[in-house]
Chains A and B, each alone.
Chain A
Amino acid sequence: MSAIQETVTDAPAIDAVPKRAMTLGAGTSAVVLLLLLVMPLFVKNFVIFQLTTVLIYGLAVLALNILTGGSGQFSLGQSAFYALGAYISAVLMEHAGMNYALTLPISGIICFAFGFLFGLPALRLSGIYLALATFALAVAMPQFLKLGALEEWTGGVQGLVVTKPDAPFGLPLSQDTWLYYFTLAIAIAIYIASINLLRSRSGRAMMAIRDNEIAASAMGINVALYKTLAFGVSAGITGVAGGLGAIVVQFVAPDSYTIQLAIALFLGMVVGGVGWLPGSIVGAAFIVFVPNIAESISKGLSGAVFGVLLFVVIFLVPHGARQVALVCQHWIGKLKRS
Chain B
Amino acid sequence: MRGMQKLRIAAFSTAVITFAAMSSSALAQKKYDTGATDTEIKIGNTMPYSGPASAYGIIGKTEAAYFKMINDQGGINGRKINFMTYDDAYSPPKAVEQVRKLVESDEVLIVFNPLGTPSNTAIQKYLNAKKIPQLFVATGATKWNDPKHFPWTMGWQPSYQSEARIYAKYLLKEKPNAKIAILYQNDDFGKDYLKGTMDGLGDKAKTMVIAQESYEVSEPTIDSHIVKLKATGADVLMIYATPKFGAQTVKKTAEIEWKPLQIMTNVSASVGGVMKPAGFDNAQGVLSAAYAKDGADPQWDNDPGMKKWVAFLDKYMPGANKTDGSIVYGYGAAQTLVKVLQMCGDNLTRANVMKQAASLKDFETDTLLPGVKINTSATDFAPIAQLQMMRFKGEKWDLFGDIISGDVTN
- A contacts, CB < 8 Å to B: 44-47, 49-50, 53, 143, 146, 156-159, 161, 245, 249-251, 253-256, 258, 260-261, 288, 291, 295, 299-300, 302-303
Given the complex, which residues of A lie within 8 Å of B118, measured CB to CB?
157-159, 253-256
Q: Which of B100, B116, B216 has the most CB of A within 10 A?
A: B100
Pairwise interchain contact A295-B188, C-beta atoms closer than 8 A: no
Q: Which of A50, A256, A261, A302 has the most CB of B within 10 A?
A: A256
- Which size bracket describes the interface of B in this complex? 20 to 34
Given the complex, which residues of A lie within 8 Å of B121, measured CB to CB?
158-159, 161, 251, 253
Q: Is the interface of A mostly helix, strand, loop or mixed?
A: helix
Contact of A253 among B122, B125, B126 (CB under 8 A): B122
Nearest residue (CB) in A for B217 is A143
Q: Is B104 at the interface (CB under 8 A from chain A)? A: yes
Nearest residue (CB) in A for B102 is A46
In the complex the two chains form, what is the Cα distance from A300 to B93 in whole Å?
A: 21
Given the complex, which residues of B lie within 8 Å of A249, measured CB to CB?
92-93, 96, 122
Nearest residue (CB) in A for B93 is A249
Given the complex, which residues of A lie within 8 Å of B100, measured CB to CB?
45-46, 49
Given contacts A156-B191, A157-B188, 10 further A-B contacts (CB under 8 A): A158-B117, A159-B121, A161-B124, A253-B121, A255-B116, A295-B87, A299-B85, A299-B87, A302-B49, A302-B50
Nearest residue (CB) in B for A45 is B104
In the complex the two chains form, what is the Cα distance from A157 to B49 in whole Å?
A: 22
Nearest residue (CB) in A for B100 is A46
Given the complex, which residues of B lie within 8 Å of A261, measured CB to CB?
91
Nearest residue (CB) in A for B52 is A258
Contact of B186 among A146, A258, A291 (CB under 8 A): A146
Q: Is B51 at the interface (CB under 8 A from chain A)? A: yes
Chain A-chain B contacts (Cβ-Cβ < 8 Å), number: 90
Q: Is B97 at the interface (CB under 8 A from chain A)? A: yes
Pairwise interchain contact B93-A302, C-beta atoms closer than 8 A: no
Pairwise interchain contact B86-A251, C-beta atoms closer than 8 A: no
Given the complex, which residues of B lie within 8 Å of A45, measured CB to CB?
100, 104
Pairwise interchain contact B90-A255, C-beta atoms closer than 8 A: yes
* A149: min CB distance to chain B, Å: 13
Pairwise interchain contact B92-A303, C-beta atoms closer than 8 A: no
Q: Is B195 at the interface (CB under 8 A from chain A)? A: no
Nearest residue (CB) in B for A288 is B97
* B368: min CB distance to chain A, Å: 29
Nearest residue (CB) in B for A148 is B186
